[in-house]
Amino acid sequence: MPPSSAERARAFVAGRLPPVEPRPASTVVLVRDAHAGLEVYVQQRVHGMAFAGGMVAFPGGSVDAADTAGHRDIDAATWARRLGTGEDAARGFVGAALRETREETGVALQPDDLVPWAHWITPRFERRRFDTWFFAAELPRGQEPQDVSGEAEAAMWVTAHEALRRADAGEWDMLPPTRVVLEELAGLSSATDIHATQREIAAVMPGWLDDGDAVIALLPDDPRYPGDDHAATTHHPMIMNDPRPESGGNRS
């Protein structure tokens, strides 16, 4: 982790940093078929942005009050079952996904275009925390995304394999959820595969390992993972804070 994040993680474990309630948010991963294979639409966020500045990411943002109150065309009951949450929350996640895609790319989606793909919650030590649903969606025919928000320095279609290659080469920076989603999409051969994939989705909250010299972010598939959002040490592996998720964290 960067030094600033490592400092906050250690302060949190020591009880000097109270957790911030995560804000609900939605991200949409647009995909299409191309000659090179399945392509994904990504944006490089403006470097000066407060959250994830300079990072390569997918379109998305926080849920607004209007997202929860509006969008009566959304079948909230069905989406609540799919996301494992209340109807208002489900309407907010889906509404934000549709709105953010339109505001950031100009692409208009319908609720049925969205496929729930992943659910990530920012670790409790971070200043800006999000409870984010990731949705995959095929690019509708006759539409082409454009950078219309002013929040991106660059936007492009790229295969998941190429995006991962650039990240491995140090050319692109991306947060763990972005990388994991790209790794999963790299295993698909066609955009239509997003509909055929049966997914059991559980919320992921990264943990971390403090070896005394550095703090290392850990994901659940790492054998050293100490539990969601917990700290462990290489010398004395242990759970160092309450394992129960906050009330704002959806555990579907």
pLDDT of residue 127: 85
Residues of the chain with pLDDT under 70: 46-53, 152, 197, 227-252
Its domain, for residue 189, covers 24-204
The answer as to whether 232 is a domain residue is no
Residue 215's alpha-carbon distances to 102, 142, 225, 242, in angstroms, are: 38, 47, 13, 19
| DSSP annotation string for 140-207 | PTT------SS-EEEEEEEEHHHHHHHHHTTS----HHHHHHHHHHTT-SSTTHHHH-------B--E
* Other C-beta atoms lying within 10 Å of the C-beta of residue 75: 16
Total domains present in the chain: 1
CA–CA separation, 223 and 219 (whole Å): 9
Output the pLDDT for position 239: 26
Closest of 92, 46, 93 to residue 69, by C-alpha = 92
Domain contains 13: no
Nearest to 157 by CA among 59, 53, 75: 59
Place of tokens 């948010």: 25
Is there a domain that residue 223 lies in? Answer: no
Find the length of the chain: 252
Phi and psi (nearest 5°) for 157? -95, 140
Cα(174)–Cα(44) distance, integer angstroms: 9
Whether 136 maps to a domain, the answer reads: yes
Per-residue pLDDT of 144-180, as tens digits, reads 998 777 776 788 999 999 999 999 999 998 888 999 9
Place of tokens 């989603």: 181
Considering the domain boundaries, does residue 151 fall inside one?
A: yes
Q: Do the domain assignments include residue 30?
A: yes
Give the helix/strand (H/E) hosting 57. strand 56-57
Residue 69 in any domain: the answer is yes
The pTM (predicted TM-score) of the whole model is 0.84
74 backbone φψ class: left, alpha, beta (φ>0; ψ -120 to 50): beta
Q: What confidence score (pLDDT) does residue 97 get?
A: 98
Has residue 16 been placed in a domain?
no
Can you give the CATH number for the domain in which 193 is found?
3.90.79.10
Q: What integer pLDDT is reported at residue 248 of this predicted model?
A: 35
